[in-house]
Chain A
Amino acid sequence: MTTQKITDSPIDFAEKIIEDVKNSKEEGVLKCVQCGMCTSTCPAARHSDYNPRDIIERVLEGDETIIEDDNIWNCFYCYTCHSVCPVGNSVCEVNQILKQIAIENGIGYDKLYEYMGFADSYFTAAIGAIPERFFPDIDRDVPGWWDFRQNLDEIRTELELNPPLMPSEDVIEEVSKILTITGFKDKIEKIRSTEEEDQ
């Protein structure tokens, strides 16, 4: 049995989550009664060791090691827990906040390497394109997909879609500037350099 010292303040961790910019549930996390409705409806809990009820238990115990737990990366972001919670908590949102805290602390970068393509397509085209490193997998799993992608322009022309797929240079420039001043660009460069060191 662990001993709780009177000077310990396990609620600090929960308060940090409540104050996070992403939190839309006010003090929802403090209202958790551990009923387990989240876990009983969660697709990740159904098919893996992910356990949303346990995440909130650990948060309320002030167990900050949870940001290093690989299991948190199994959430589908389907918001089912968020939509059924009887006290208005959202484990889905708490999960996203935990991951952002992890990333701010340089944890979990390896989980982001594959997704750097989303950053690149924003700086080059202001769109969120599926990262090219997944193309070989998609080509293997989806017959005809590569051919379809080669014919995309022709298909779009036949559908008379306007405006064109790519925004103009000035739009791309403005979006790139926004993502530079928010600190996004620096963060991406830091993750990239860590990936190169890892290899």
Chain B
Amino acid sequence: MKNVPTEDILLFRSCLVSVEYPGVEASTKFVFDKLGVDYEISDKQTCCTGLGHYSDVFSQIDTTAIGARNFRIARELKRPNLVMMCATCYAINKKSVKLLNKKDDLRNHINELFINNGLEHLTYEKDDLKPTENIFHVVDILYARKDEIKNHVKYDLSGYKIATHHGCHYCKVHYEDTIGGVRDPNVMDEIIAECGCKTIGWYDHKRATCGTGFRQRYSNPNLSFTATADKMNAIDDEDVDILVHLCPNCHIQFDRYQHLIAEREGRNFRAVHLNIAQFLAIAMGGDFDKVIGVRAHTVPVDSVIKDLKEVEK
């Protein structure tokens, strides 16, 4: 497995986490603190451009120039390890680092733009960051510290039927760096196992997209929701209580639109939706309002997770 750092981390803020599920950020901090991960959040870091990029509005040069600025901020803070809460930020930033290191013309072009316009302080030198050594998703860090998890588990969630959805932009874009498999992704199943819970493992469409498809959800909702229905039907066939994911795009698609897709399918979907950090934070005793941020959820988390039972020590 690749080497995963647990220090000198810049925890990269995500626009969708910030405005749709802020509890994912609070839960990530809560869990990182428990696991002794050394991180900081910067008020200078800005959005990765992902949503605009995958709506075809931002070109690769626009996105990579913004990336170069964020990479410079990380280096100035002496926190060269970028850790993303959003799978899209992860894929976007990793690709920009790859391109900046590999494509001299692109790097020179962006640096020249910076130098000619009074932004010399943002220039990027080849190999300032490395895609595999410096660009991570939160699950990579959780996996690296997974032996530590059981020491902090307060509540027993093993009575629930749990499934995982791994997020295409974590698993499939930079598959050479994905922990826990790509065709049969399991990194979250392994992390959840450290809480004393056994997930259902493989299910039909486990590796399939959540159906967001960026522009598809807004401009082509019929196509988007039909793809999501594949997954939701499979989850419901397995009678799942909790679906755990790692990306706010997927989170919106499942949590915000579950009732609408249930109506379309003539079924009654009942799973609740949690980010992996929220799942761990619940297991570790995080407050539902002050840490998990359940007020942001459309499917009420307490419709399934009602009584928490302490683990027997």
Number of interface residues, chain A, beta carbon within 8 A:
73
Give residues 82-111 of A contacting B (CB, 8 Å).
Answer: 82-84, 96, 99-100, 103, 108, 111
Q: Are B57 and A118 in contact (CB under 8 A)?
A: yes
Total contacts A-B at CB 8 Å? 208
Give residues 162-207 of B contacting A (CB, 8 Å).
Answer: 168-169, 171-173, 175, 182-183, 207
Q: Are B295 and A151 in contact (CB under 8 A)?
A: yes
- In the assembled complex, the Cα of A156 lies from the Cα of B46 at a distance in Å of 18
- In the assembled complex, the Cα of A77 lies from the Cα of B212 at a distance in Å of 9
Q: Are A80 and B168 in contact (CB under 8 A)?
A: yes
Q: Are B22 and A181 in contact (CB under 8 A)?
A: no
A11 within 8 A of B: no
- In the assembled complex, the Cα of A74 lies from the Cα of B207 at a distance in Å of 19
Q: Are A160 and B46 in contact (CB under 8 A)?
A: no
* With A74-B223, A100-B56: A126-B213 Cβ-Cβ less than 8 Å: no
B76 within 8 A of A: no
Q: Are A114 and B209 in contact (CB under 8 A)?
A: no
Q: Binding site of B, secondary structure by majority: helix, strand, loop or mixed?
A: helix
A9 within 8 A of B: no
- Residues of A close to B227: CB separation below 8 A: 43-44, 46-47, 76
Give residues 209-243 of B contacting A (CB, 8 Å).
Answer: 209, 211-216, 218-221, 223-224, 226-227, 230
Q: Are B172 and A155 in contact (CB under 8 A)?
A: no
* With A79-B168, A142-B298: A178-B47 Cβ-Cβ less than 8 Å: no
Give residues 73-108 of B contacting A (CB, 8 Å).
Answer: 91, 95, 98-99, 103, 105-106
Add 9 more A-B contacts to A44-B227, A142-B298, A181-B65 (CB < 8 A): A46-B227, A48-B223, A79-B169, A103-B56, A118-B55, A143-B298, A156-B22, A177-B119, A179-B65
Residues of chain A having any CB pair with chain B under 8 Å: 21-22, 24, 43-44, 46-48, 73-80, 82-84, 96, 99-100, 103, 108, 111-112, 114-116, 118-119, 122, 126-130, 134, 137-138, 141-145, 148-149, 151-152, 155-156, 158-165, 167-168, 171, 174-175, 177-179, 181-184, 187-188
Residue pairs across A and B with Cβ atoms less than 8 A apart, 20 shown, are A21-B61, A24-B95, A47-B223, A48-B223, A76-B211, A82-B173, A99-B56, A112-B56, A122-B47, A127-B18, A127-B47, A128-B15, A149-B19, A156-B22, A162-B41, A167-B46, A171-B46, A174-B69, A184-B59, A187-B59
